[in-house]
Each structure stands twice: as C-alpha cells, then as structure tokens.
Amino acid sequence: MSTTFQIDTATSRANPTPAPMKRLTVPQIRTRKTDGSSGKPLVMLTAYTARQAQLLDAHCDLLLVGDSLGQVIYGLPSTIPVTLEMMSNHAAAVVRGSYHSVVIVDMPFGSYEAGKEQAFESAARLLKESGAAGVKLEGGAAMAETVAFLVARGIPVMGHVGLTPQAVNVLGGYMARGRDDKEAEKITSDAKALDDAGAFAIVVEGVVEPIAIEVTRAVSCPTIGIGASAQCDGQVLVTEDMLGMFERVPRFVKKYDDIAERIGDTVARYATEVRERSFPTSDQTYKAKS
C-alpha cells in the first residue's frame, strides 16, 4: 500500500480506487541487475499529477517526478527555473496517486550543487514533504561525494549522466553527447563514479548508443536509457511526449498515440454542441421536485 499521503477516494474524484498492490522498493530496483546484467528491463515514465500517476502506476516500475514539469506543466523555457516547492508539491500528488511504483523526484537546479550539506537539506525536504522514495540529481564525478553523503544518511539517489538538461547553458544545447573520445570517456567515468558512490540506478540521456552500452556494462547498478540504447537496463520517457501531447519532441521519442489530436477533436465536438444548444440534455440537467 501507499504512504499516509494516499488519496481518500471516498471524497476524491480519483475513483474508482486502483487495485492495491505492494509498492516496489529501491533495493528491489537495484537488485534487478545482478552480475552485470538485468533480466526484465525496468519501465519508468514521468508523472506530475495524482491522476496521471493512477493511470501509469500498474504498468511502471518507477514513476519519475521530473523537473521537466517546468516545460510540460508550467510552460517554462527550460528546467532551470523549477523550484523545490514545485517538485515537492507534484511529487506528493504522484505518491498519493500510486500504489505500486517507486516514486523518484528530481532535485531542481540550485538545490544541491553548492555542497553535500545543501543537497541533504533539499533532499530531506523533498522526501519528508512528498513521501517519495528517492531523489535524482544530475552530474557525474563532481557529484559522487554528494551522492555518497546522501546515501550514507538514508537517502536513495538515482544518478544522471550524458545530456544533463540543467547544464544546458554550459553544454550549449540539447545535442547528443559522447560523439568524441574525450567526452565518451568522461561519460563512462562519470557513471562509474556514481555507481561507486552508491547510486541505485543511473539515467543515461542523449548518449550515442555504443557509449550507452559501454556505460551499462561498466556499472553494477541499473542504467535507464532515454535517447540511449535498448541495451540499457530500463527506459524512461516524458509521458506527454510518448502520448503525442506535443507537436515537437526530441528525435529519440516514439509517439505511441496522438492524444493532442484526440483532445482537439473532442473539445471541438463539445464546442459545437454548446453553440447549437444541444448540450446539456435532459440527462445532464436536474428536474424540479414534483
């Protein structure tokens, strides 16, 4: 079952109650990879709301409350302006809406880079306020000491190497990483440093496929690819991207549906009925008592 943050479905729109199932744990995710290989790949998607979490939960091993919500939910130009408060509020909603998946929350830009003590304070706040199971932070070897500090104090950490969106101003854009030998070597060494520091999993984003495969073989913890390789130990996508909510998506996204078109068609039908006064009908209105 979930934490004390679970939705009260007696008073919530979130009915019917999903069939309860035992929530996965961080150690279970970590041990999905043994002796350098994983059997059944891990499934992870982003979630930002309680209802979205309910719809995804039974199909996923992990739900990531990504700082991508800055762009997807708030219409911001990047993840840089996202705050701890935003992340905490959305993570709490996702925890309330889920029973099965491990909920991981991104640490936003500026909440952990200054030092390990700042990182602990931010991570502790996120977990206490949301009920999430762990945090994700970007960066490789430079963050290894921080990762080890958090893990030693009871905070599970998911790493993130390759294309790191919070460093977009330094990287100069969202292009694939690892195309030259120097950068490829750094990505692999970054992943190893996070693995040695105790990260329970590592997101490998926007990395040329041979390097993603090399990283996956080089670390003992599971890798979760996004724009990387099917040989990673799992995959993650931004849910709105894979559902077709946006016209433009990164090259590595596969659109599994065109929800945006469906919504447009449905709203157009509603608008027509309102203007024709064919909605509401007697089925949607109340009668006076006789």
**Tokens 């693995």 belong to which residue?**
195
Count other C-beta atoms under 10 Å from residue 3's C-beta: 15
* Cβ 141 vs Cβ 189: under 8 Å: yes
Phi and psi torsions of 101, nearest 5°: -75, 150
Alpha carbon 186 to its chain centroid, in Å, reads 24
Q: Which option is the CATH number for 26-258: 3.40.50.720, 2.60.120.260, 1.10.630.10, 3.20.20.60?
A: 3.20.20.60
Please list the active-site residues: 205
Q: How far is CA 248 from CA 176, 242, 259, 274, in A?
A: 17, 11, 13, 31
Annotated binding site: 67-68, 106, 136, 138
**Tokens 């911001």 belong to which residue?**
76
Tens digit of pLDDT at every position of the chain (290 positions): 334 455 555 555 555 455 566 899 999 999 999 988 778 999 999 999 999 999 999 999 999 999 999 999 999 999 999 999 999 999 999 999 999 999 999 999 999 999 999 999 999 999 999 999 999 999 999 999 999 999 999 999 999 999 876 755 555 555 666 578 888 899 999 999 999 999 999 999 999 999 999 999 999 999 999 999 999 999 999 999 999 999 888 888 999 999 999 999 999 999 999 999 999 999 999 999 87
Helix pair angle (209-218, 181-197), 10° resolution = 30
Among candidates 214, 162, 209, 170, which has minimal Cα distance to 190? 162
Alpha-carbon span 35 to 150, nearest angstrom: 25
pTM over 0.95? The answer is no
Tokens found for residue 41: 């790949």
- Residue ranges of domains in the chain: 26-258
SS3 280: coil
Count other C-beta atoms under 10 Å from residue 117's C-beta: 11
